[in-house]
Amino acid sequence: MARLPLTDVEGSPFRKAFANSPELLGAFEQMESALGEILEPELLELIRLRSAANNGCDY
């Protein structure tokens, strides 16, 4: 169960949760952009999955 309500924005569950705060969403999008330039998409998705699993979150 999500601790933050998910918004209607398009994208990943992370983006939907972070959209509750415009500042947090902006920082998240900057991080995603920077990581997307240096990591392969598959590795970035594995990082997302591991992060969700480590925090006990459904993804």
For residues 28 and 20, what is the distance between their CA atoms, to the nearest angstrom?
12
Task: Give the pLDDT of residue 2.
Answer: 59
pLDDT, tens digit, 9 for 90 and up, residues 2-39: 577 888 888 887 788 889 999 999 998 999 899 999 99
Task: Give the pLDDT of residue 46.
Answer: 94
Task: Report residue 33 as tokens.
Answer: 């952009």
Higher pLDDT, 54 or 5: 54
Evaluated on CA atoms 28, 13, 48, 44, the torsion sign reads negative
pLDDT, tens digit, 9 for 90 and up, residues 42-53: 999 999 889 889
Spell 30-40 as b/e; 16+ CB within 10 A means b. Answer: eebeeeeeeee
